[in-house]
């Protein structure tokens, strides 16, 4: 059986060179070779995050990174505004709540992005209630709904309405694939995960911390040990991590950052824009209803309604048997939505191929889909999206 | 340059088949293939832990596993006895303290094992003070000093003196290499780490939880989210993990458990006993002073004094240049001790080769070491240790 195309929003396919890095023999994580690697990776990440802040490497999934973002900078009872547009926004709020924060939630209808005025209003109300927000939890790209928040606008609204509030950002499924400005947008803590845009296996969260956030950490009393960012900073100064890191995933990240540097950000952003446009156009051409507000549709993951009369479990099984792995819905969207991941190592050609497989399955399941319409629409949309050449050389999985 | 011999107490060298697993393409961590893998791994781990309890898989280092052991079963203010024989015992105590446990420490002189009567005395005193221990934190094998505690005896002492106290055990650097009985010894929570005896890269902690510990978790109020074991148990029932796991490390663990099953526990235990005996004999024959109490010297890591007049940093650099990587001392032992790891994928032949390299370095650094004495003593000790044949087929790193 040939290898399946993995089109879920993480883990993403690994380029050949990254796979080879995963096969390297172990080294001493407290020796000179690993110290050099950490230095290179840290430099590469700072460049990708567009920040002068430290970017620390934690061995955990993205959710562990969200926990680190909350517990290092907050104390029990601290008023916090949590802006949630989906499952992962809810999760971030739950983390803060579990550790005793006084969380006010701004719940946005799923499929929509948050709006700056709503954030401003919520912050004003908290201040009027005598509970000014110590921090705002924001999601950059909501993986469960396929919506990218207008993060620059939301951050500006927070800075205007609550200048002292820390901005803690879940950047897990967008950073590294679409434009992102940690320093220019004034983001205090930004979290991402290795298995997303980075083309690396899961196992590492990468977290940037601003001077303002470090100052808050000095007073923050939520308990932390494994996720203590200060311990990570102290070790990073010696070229180490406080606890044994996922060495193999670090090897992979080192190689992947080299591929990213070689491709360059303009090409990476254009490729993701082209793949996002291709996916949306391909699905629409097959009569599938997209879930996300078109104005804020994500270029890393597309969510769509499971067509009426089709069971997701049956559709998923049939797709898998033809070599295409898509993701289902999460939380209350289970069985209602399916999702196509198009981040990391992905090319327009692969999206077109995925649309062709999907089209075949839909036709066999009795949907009135015109032969060839989906792939053709995908390719045309990619060309329109401004990618100079959709066949541009990109890292492709083996 | 040929590959170095990595003789530190984790990460341990990877056998070829495990390295190949690290190069596998990603799969959906919520799909059928990964579900099957988790089932196999869970069965293999239960067999290795010698337990009927669930063994849960967490994406973190061993320290994260220790945090999970503490925060899921305790509440702030709970009296806890922490038996520490070194750096990692101290770390376990710090985790519990950080989350608000009322920790009484039983500090044992470094290099010695804990004694059952001292544990009994400490528990009796806590009870007499009206603070009966809710839990006892125990280290099986102390990586920093190279001492293996008489865990069966210590556990029996706890059960006799404080039948209601939970036994939370750091089994990170011993379990899988030397005999260990989770159920027969009545251990409630046992933690190990992928990069130790398991011959797998770092990134996973494996944690077993007894019915008694699950009952305690219902009432325990220390905050937890990422390390919430109940969330892990709920997901495990569906063949998943609650957060994205380190998929590549899971691939490696799956393969490594197959190698372990093929070798069999009697051979694995005999091999580690032979390698431990060989290391101690080899070092002693070169005039090096062993640090650990001989009665409790570990068969997974040997600690020894850096010879007088030699700087560890210079010695380490010279060893590295000749292809041997050893570990330095930790905590207050930095610069005073060095450590030889002999766990996981290790053979007597490799220990003999390591002793030959060490001998050359010591002679060049001016130590009066007889040529050939170290390797010869190592080989003789391995033969005496009862290994049928020190050249027994074992998984060796490529």
Mean pLDDT by runs of 10 across the 398 residues of chain B is: 84 98 96 97 98 98 98 98 98 98 98 98 98 98 98 98 98 98 98 98 98 98 98 97 98 98 97 98 98 98 96 96 96 94 97 98 95 97 74 42
Cα–Cα distance for residue pair A344/A268, rounded to 1 Å:
9
Taking CB atoms and an 8 Å limit, are B245 and A61 in contact across chains?
yes
Would strands B79-84 and A204-209 be described as parallel, antiparallel, or unpaired? unpaired
Q: Which residues of B touch A26 (CB under 8 A)?
A: 6, 11-14, 195, 201
Cα dist. B292→B118, B148, B305, B335 in Å? 19, 9, 10, 16
Nearest residue in chain B measured CA to CA from A19: B23
The per-residue pLDDT for B189 is: 98
Flag whether pLDDT at A2 surpasses 70.
no
Q: Does B243 touch chain A if contact means CB atoms closer than 8 Å?
A: yes
Task: Label residue A386 by pLDDT band (50, 70, 90).
Answer: confident
pLDDT at position B1, please?
Answer: 41
Using one digit for the tens of pLDDT, what is the confidence trace for B239-277? 999 999 999 999 999 999 999 999 999 999 999 999 999
Query: How many Cβ atoms from other residues are within 10 Å of residue B364's Cβ?
Result: 11
Residue A61 C-alpha, separation from nearest chain B C-alpha, in angstroms: 6
Q: What is the mean pLDDT of residues A335-339?
A: 96
A220 CB within 8 Å of a chain B CB: no
Minimal Cα distance from B8: which residue of A?
A28
Inter-helix orientation angle A151-161/A116-128, to 10°: 20
Per-residue model confidence as pLDDT tens digits over A111-167: 999 999 999 999 999 999 999 999 999 999 999 999 999 999 999 999 999 999 999
In A, minimum Cα distance to B172 occurs at: A244
pLDDT the model gives residue B374: 97
The Cβ of residue A87 has, within 10 Å, a number of other Cβ atoms equal to: 18
Reported as half-sphere exposure (CB side, CA atoms, 13 A), residue A358 has a value of 31
CB contact under 8 A, A3 and B25: yes
Closest CB to B20 among A23, A60, A320: A23
Of A273, A286, A259, residue with least CA distance to A354? A286
Given a cut of 50, is residue A23 above it in pLDDT?
Answer: yes
How many Å is the Cα radius of gyration of chain B?
Answer: 21
Put simply, whether A63 touches B (Cβ < 8 Å) is yes
What was the pLDDT predicted at B259?
98
Residue B372 falls in which region: left (phi positive, over 0), alpha (psi -120 to 50) or beta:
left
Strands B337-341 and B327-328: antiparallel
- CA B106 from chain centre, in angstroms, equals 20
Give the distance from residue B232's alpha carbon to the nearest chain A alpha carbon, in angstroms: 13
Q: Is A12's Cβ below 8 Å from some Cβ in B?
A: yes
Render pLDDT for A79-91 as a digit per residue (tens, 0 to 9): 999 999 999 999 9
| A contacts of B19 (beta carbons < 8 Å) | 23-25
Give the pLDDT confidence score for residue A345 in this predicted structure.
97
Say yes or no to pLDDT of A169 above 90.
Answer: yes
Interface membership of A28 toward B (CB under 8 Å) = yes
Q: Does B343 touch chain A (CB under 8 A)?
A: no
- B54 beta partners: B209
Dist CA A16 CA A21 (whole Å) = 9
Please check whether residue A342 is in contact with residue A196, taking contact to mean a CB–CB distance below 8 angstroms.
no
| Residues near B262 by beta carbon (within 8 Å), at least 6 away in sequence | none
Q: How much is the pLDDT for A390?
A: 44
Q: Given CB atoms, is B341 within the 8 Å cutoff of chain A?
A: no
Helix (H/G/I), strand (E/B), else coil: B159 = helix
Selecting from A31, A193, A225 the residue whose C-beta is nearest the C-beta of B98 gives: A225
Contact at CB, A6 and B25, closer than 8 angstroms:
yes
Residues 349-388 of chain A with CB under 8 A from chain B are none
What structural domains does chain A harbor? Answer: 16-261 (3.40.640.10), 264-384 (3.90.1150.10)
Q: How far is B184 from chain A (nearest CA, A)?
A: 30
Subunit contact B248:A10, Cβ cutoff 8 A: no
Task: Give mean pLDDT, residues A317-334.
Answer: 95
Nearest residue on chain B to A341, judged by CA atoms?
Answer: B28
* A36-A38-A43-A46 Cα dihedral, nearest 10 degrees: -170
Q: How far is B268 from chain A (nearest CA, A)?
A: 21
| Strand positions, DSSP E, B196-264 | 204-209
Q: What angle do CA B385, B387, B393 make, to 5 degrees?
A: 145
Is B98 in CB contact (< 8 Å) with chain A? yes
Residue A65 pLDDT > 90, yes or no?
yes
Among the partner-chain residues B28, B246, B397, the one whose CB lies closest to the CB of A246 is: B246
A227 touches chain B (CB under 8 A): yes
Quick check: A61 and B325 CB within 8 A? no
CA distance A206 to A61: 9
Angle at CA of residue A273, ends A268 and A279, nearest 5°: 125
């Amino acid at each position: 059986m040939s290898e399946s195309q993995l089109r879920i929003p993480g883990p993403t396919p690994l380029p050949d060179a990254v796979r080879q890095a995963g096969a390297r023999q172990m080294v001493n994580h407290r020796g000179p070779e690993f110290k050099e690697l950490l230095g290179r990776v840290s430099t590469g990440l700072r460049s990708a995050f567009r920040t002068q802040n430290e970017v620390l490497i934690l061995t955990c999934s993205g959710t562990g990174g969200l926990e680190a973002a909350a517990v290092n900078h907050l104390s029990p009872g601290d008023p916090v505004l949590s802006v949630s547009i989906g499952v992962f926004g809810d999760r971030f709020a739950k983390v803060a709540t579990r550790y005793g924060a006084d969380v006010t939630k701004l719940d946005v209808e799923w499929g929509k992005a948050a709006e700056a005025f709503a954030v401003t209003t919520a912050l004003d109300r908290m201040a009027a209630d005598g509970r000014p927000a110590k921090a705002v939890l924001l999601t950059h790209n909501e993986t469960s709904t396929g919506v990218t928040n207008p993060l620059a606008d939301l951050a500006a609204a927070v800075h205007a309405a609550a200048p002292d509030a820390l901005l803690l950002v879940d950047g897990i499924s967008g950073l590294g694939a679409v434009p992102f400005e940690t320093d220019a947008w004034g983001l205090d803590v930004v979290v991402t995960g290795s298995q997303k845009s980075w083309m690396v296996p899961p196992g590492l969260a990468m977290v940037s911390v601003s001077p303002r956030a470090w100052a808050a950490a000095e007073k923050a009393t939520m308990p932390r040990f494994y996720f203590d960012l200060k311990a990570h900073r102290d070790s990073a100064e010696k070229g180490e991590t406080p606890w044994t890191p996922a060495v193999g995933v670090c090897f992979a990240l080192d190689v992947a950052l080299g591929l990213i540097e070689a491709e360059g950000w303009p090409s990476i952003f254009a490729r993701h824009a082209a793949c996002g446009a291709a996916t949306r156009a391909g699905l629409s051409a097959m009569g599938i209803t997209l879930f996300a507000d078109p104005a804020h549709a994500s270029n890393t993951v597309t969510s769509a309604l499971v067509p009426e009369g089709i069971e997701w479990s049956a559709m998923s099984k049939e797709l898998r048997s033809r070599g295409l792995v898509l993701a289902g819905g999460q939380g209350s969207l289970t069985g209602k939505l399916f999702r196509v991941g198009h981040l990391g190592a992905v090319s327009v050609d692969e999206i077109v191929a995925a649309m062709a497989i999907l089209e075949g399955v839909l036709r066999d399941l009795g949907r009135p889909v015109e032969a060839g319409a989906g792939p053709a629409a995908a390719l045309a949309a990619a060309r329109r999206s401004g990618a100079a050449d959709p066949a541009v050389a990109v890292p492709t999985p083996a």
